[in-house]
A and B are shown apart, each in its own frame.
Chain A
Amino acid sequence: MQGATIRSRPVYPGLAIAPLARRHIFALEGEGAGALLDIAGDLTPEVLGRSQILYVARGSLGVGHHGALQTLGAAFWAAPTVQPLLGRLDVELSRSHMGTRLYLAGTEGFIGQAMQVAAAHGIDPASVITEHRGSRARRVQCVHCKGVTEGVTASPFTCGHCGLNLYVRDHYSRRLGAFQGVNIDAEEPGAVPPPEELYL
């Protein structure tokens, strides 16, 4: 129920197969593999024959799900990190036609970035089927220098770009796929409270 009160944050209702889709693209990160494996019973041969699974193991606590995903029998491709996975997703979407359904599962930062790729192809965010799995780490944009820091688990933290001490405001931009980071000691430079691990 995290974030139920943040009205700018998307909700991630969970993966469910859209049976009428002509093509299914699953982009899964880390524990997001489990979101698909949990509904394996709904994956008929017909659905699997129209499916493409893109997977990156990041964030899987050392346990890769490559084998389990490959066993499903759909077209499968694994990326070493998030960046090439997003690149491949971009390629797949550029060659997709009407009737393609996109499914995203993994950390919120991953879903946000994949949504940006989808938006660039004119896909309505409301049509993308999402599930949040794994770490609650946040992807944060520094409002001052605009640099993005991935995997933020504590607030305050130090901006990886400009070095300011930032707290994470409960405000999320879908366009940027990020929460907002705001300087915490602007009024009294140096007055920085100890970081709290809020987003593990």
Chain B
Amino acid sequence: MDTAYSATHRPETFRDETFRGDFSYANSPGNIRHFPFPFHEDHYRYSVNIEPHVPGLPGSAFEHLIDVDEHYLAEMADRAQVLAEDPLRYQALPHMMLAQWDTLELLMEEQARAYPHLFTLERNGDQWRWINRPLGIDDTFTFGDPSTLPREPLDYICRQTQGDIALMDQREGNLWMDAGMITAQADWSLDFDVGMNFHEWHAPVPLAPQMGVFDRALKYLLNLQVGKPVRRLNWTMTINPRLDTSPETYPKWGPDRTTVTPENVGQKVHLRVELQSLWRLPRSNGMLFVIRGYMMRMDEVVTVPKWGRRLPRVLESLPPELAEYKGLSRYRQTTIDWLKRHDDGAPTSPGIFPD
């Protein structure tokens, strides 16, 4: 390990916060510039927008390939609660065991390399020792032998990694979503979709299929190489900082969408961004799909003047079908009206980062 390594983004403390009930989730002032703001121009445009997943701007969510931030412990606690209530959020078809081990290795290696003060991985042949200091875990196990871990490898490591995880098997010229742990999703059900191929699980998405977006994306992904992961950003909006906006629990969070008023937009409406990364797995030839979610409420967004100007412009240009699909219809205009107060009409610089 490189002893001279010094990360700009190096979380030392973790916020004590909730994603339900009193919704005490918030970003520290220092964490706002860490947010992966998803719009690089003032107009909404649908695109596959895939780029190499390489280390990016220091301090940003792109600095490390598997990003850990101040919400780590709170997210892991929320995930454990979701799984306790609904174990079907974790799925792994029997033929995915090798891909599970691939994933465990990758997530341990990446986190230990980026955050040596938080995680340590010691490898001695197939005898591995994993230390996770924030969660107080120190386990020794035999790589490849599921009986030496307290849970299946994917279940085990996903409970220690921020972001939803899906594993794809590659066969018959397609990708099949055959395993995953999905507890913070934007309204799709792993239990329903597990076992589907790339086109099948995207069936409910409007517009994009007609544009050939998925055909092109699949063709690209089938050729993904080991050691050359790629990423894209996806986004939606969520009322209250609720991680678990699954279809399963829709009756619990659906009513939140009717509670937005001109007075509470800044507090209640959150921009929700997924930094999606895709990794070819070396042993199984499967693919790891990490859906790393970030949430930021409107009055945090507008502390960055460029983002405050751009977001209302993008929301105004969003096609109605997509606004409906993303569930924004009820509160889109109220949110635009509130944001407009922070848009002085000045031009914005290209790219996603603050000026």
Chain A positions within 8 Å of B, measured between CB atoms, are 6-9, 141, 143-144, 146, 164, 169-176, 180, 182-183, 186-189
Contact = CB atoms under 8 A, between A and B. Distances in A.
If over half of A's interface residues share one DSSP class (helix, strand or loop), that class is named, otherwise mixed; here it is loop
B204 A169 contact: yes
B88 A146 contact: yes
Nearest to A188: B258
A173 B193 contact: yes
B254 A180 contact: no
Nearest to B252: A186
A7 B255 CA distance: 30
Contacts of B209: 7
Chain B interface bracket (under 10, 10 to 19, 20 to 34, 35 or more): 20 to 34
Interface stretch (B8-16, B48-56, B77-85, B243-251): B243-251
Contacts of A170: 203-204
A173 B195 CA distance: 8
29 contacts: A7-B200, A7-B202, A8-B196, A8-B200, A8-B201, A143-B189, A143-B192, A144-B247, A146-B191, A171-B203, A171-B204, A172-B203, A173-B192, A173-B193, A173-B196, A174-B200, A175-B194, A175-B195, A175-B196, A182-B247, A186-B251, A186-B253, A186-B255, A187-B254, A187-B255, A187-B257, A187-B258, A187-B330, A188-B258
B193 A144 contact: no
Given A180-B192, A186-B254, A144 B248 contact: yes
Interface of B: 88, 189, 191-196, 199-204, 209, 247-251, 253-255, 257-258, 330
A188 B329 CA distance: 14
A87 B232 CA distance: 47
B192 A183 contact: no
A144 B246 CA distance: 10
A186 B192 CA distance: 19
B200 A186 contact: no
A7 B330 contact: no
A6 B192 contact: no
B258 A143 contact: no
Nearest to B204: A171
A170 B330 CA distance: 22
Given A171-B204, A183-B250, A186-B250, 9 more contacts: A8-B200, A143-B192, A144-B249, A171-B203, A175-B196, A180-B247, A183-B254, A187-B255, A187-B257
A144 B196 contact: no
A135 to B, nearest CB: 22
A169 B250 CA distance: 14
A143 B253 CA distance: 15
Given A187-B258, A188-B258, A189-B255, A7 B192 contact: no
Contacts of B258: 187-188
B191 A8 contact: no
